[in-house]
Structure 1
């Protein structure tokens, strides 16, 4: 059972999704929770049988915690991860791995020194949507992949979020917010990226909050809010990506993969499942592929379960590689030149089709 006793640091909104998933899993046990708000810590601990309400520093040192689940804000990811590693714990964190590439590199270096493991979201890529498409690519259903497109457009999170400020500060923006879902999927489908060429812009210098107690308040925009680019994958395929807070809608599919013998249409990689469509190069017929790979009925936290009970497909190395891709896109946009991606990652093994009872550990 090494690694399966989980301590959670950061008990904000996203923690609820993880708690719902982990509480139903037989292979893990939540033994402690911590937050900067003691009242919140106590309230959450009361909902988890046997869980301790601790301060973050006490949780890092506690003997009944093997793995720290880091659900703090991105600016705190490095600090929490380093403290947990120093306490002899493995670490699994929400995306991004850290707020900057240098910070993420320090986390992985510290893990290597300590002989500990690091994993990180997004784990949506382990669901049946992306994994079924990946199985089709690996089976040669579309021939040699030559390109892919990934598109996510929105008019901005101020339309619904009552406190959207951090989306428009350094470390925010549409690429760093939504990019991890799409780029992680592209790495699984087409392999690591070796170079990028990016461009970016911003449509306005201030945004107006549209909901909540601050509705009508203007907030500054410190980052580019429309980012596009081309990724060169190690195997030769190229992906074209667009992420925007400046465009309200699109008719483009979330992800398409094009091969010499056909194409695939993938569902939104921000979700675990969805329909995968295939079209053969010699036919106009569009076929829905049967689900053939991935964790069925998955939800946020399945990557942590895979991390502590399986091969750890949502690895820190993949998370670091994706963070470098995003950093390089922004650097390329600023320089107006192609930028190499120096990190790499071993593409995790395909997830075999695994029913809910299998990955939750009940009757597997």
Structure 2
């Protein structure tokens, strides 16, 4: 059996995967040191030089091989920052070593792999968390409070839009974005689907359509500039999500389109509409247009972890009372993954798909100043 996490003691964290995203986690962990929650002790990467560079930049951290980090007695939780195709393998190895896991999104490349992760964690008595933790920030949480407070009445529908001409324009190694487990839906969709479930509740069925515009992408930056990478996934995806509440969400995720003026997320209710900020960010302006009003009104920040960043979900997980599901937990991540996988299935079959899993709306986050005070526990 795994070792339970103790919110009254610092949790020793080891990171596997030292790619571009790790810088944001390290910045958050430095800020969270005063909360007595997280103690980063080790890092590992298939490229030892990358792990050593991180260790050299962070006091008290040692660079290890992946095998050594998983075997280390002083690592309580593994932060899994590997590529999507490796998420399940690394998570399962960490769980087998008796360690809790918090991973980058998606939880796994497929729901079948993700189910193995959750089942193994349950059997081992360890906790699984998963990005995105952006839903814990003031942007999504202020919008959620507005809905819960009845400012728009009963929610009817939502639109969620993300368009970009492709990550190869800026990412020096974009290959995994265009292989199974990547693509606009599985890469960016977790932010949007997790936010929609947080705002409107679980999804019961979906219908989707998708397209694939070209077979290669050209790298636009870094040492490999000018090289082509193959495309093996759909690069423009549209889906309609039917929530258990009856609300309908329309999702557009694209690595093909250039730009949009549409809000990232817009929620429509019987008595008003909300513009919700970018779910890839932790903050942002929430705007309300109430029935009978003459213009949009910016709502004051009223909920969420203030000035937060990637990695705050790890702290939130540690503070979750035993037996409760973390806000950025494996159950929500699994549900979001099944929703996205089902949109793609529907796109390929031309038929609606029922969603077998469910996920309760995570507990709301009251307005919390993170540093130097500890993260608030789920109540």
Length-normalised TM-score, structure 1? 0.95
Aligned twin of 2:338: 324
2:141 is paired with a residue of what secondary structure?
helix
Distance of 2:54 and 2:225 partners within structure 1: 30
**1:305–1:359 CA contact under 8 A, matched in 2:** no
Which secondary structure does the structure 1 equivalent of 2:101 belong to?
Answer: strand
Aligned twin of 1:117: 127
Cα distance, 1:68 vs. partner?
A: 0.8
- Aligned position for 1:5: 12
Q: In structure 1, how many angstroms separate the alpha carbons of the residues matched to 2:236 and 2:104?
A: 23
**Which residue does the alignment assign to 2:359?**
345
The equivalent of 1:287 in structure 2 is 297
Instruction: Output the CA distance in 2 between the equivalents of 1:210 and 1:54.
Output: 32
Structure 2 residue 212 is matched with structure 1 residue 202: yes
Q: In 2 relative to 1, CA 37–265 (structure 1 residues): closer, same or farther, beyond 3 Å?
A: same
Q: Report SS of the residue matched to 2:258.
A: coil
After TM superposition, where is structure 1 displaced by more than 6 Å over at least 4 residues in a row? none
Aligned to 1:73: 83
Where does structure 2 lack aligned partners over 5 or more consecutive residues? none
Mark the runs of 5 or more structure 1 residues left unpaired by the alignment: none
For the pair 1:185 / 2:199, whether they are aligned, the reply is: no
Displacement of 1:119 in angstroms is: 0.3
Q: Which moved more, 1:181-190 or 1:27-36?
A: 27-36
Deviation at 1:278, TM superposition (A): 0.2
Partner of 1:300: 310
- State the TM-score, normalizing by the size of structure 2: 0.92
* Contact 2:368–2:375, Cα closer than 8 Å, also in 1: no
The CA deviation at 1:360 is 5.1
Superposed CA deviations along residues 53-111 of structure 1, whole A, max 9, x for unmatched, are 22222222222111111111111111111111111111000111111111111000000
Structure 1 position 251, deviation (Å):
1.2
Distance 1:284 1:202 in 2: 42
The structure 2 residue matched to 1:162, chosen from 172, 192, 211, is 172
1:28 to 15, 35, 38: 38
Deviates more, 1:119-128 or 1:216-225: 216-225
- The answer (yes or no) to whether the contact 2:264–2:278 under 8 Å persists in 1 is yes
User: d(CA) in 1 for partners of 2:237 and 2:55?
Assistant: 41
**How do 1:1-364 and structure 2 match up within 5 A?**
2=6, 4-25=11-32, 26=34, 27-310=37-320, 312-357=326-371
Label 1:263 to 1:300 Cα distance change in 2 as closer, same or farther (>3 A): same
Residues matched between the structures, number: 362
CA contact (8 A) 2:44 2:63 kept: yes
Comparing 302-311 and 123-132, the one that deviates more: 302-311
Q: CA deviation at 1:231?
A: 0.1
Q: Is the 8 A contact 1:2 1:66 kept in 2?
A: no
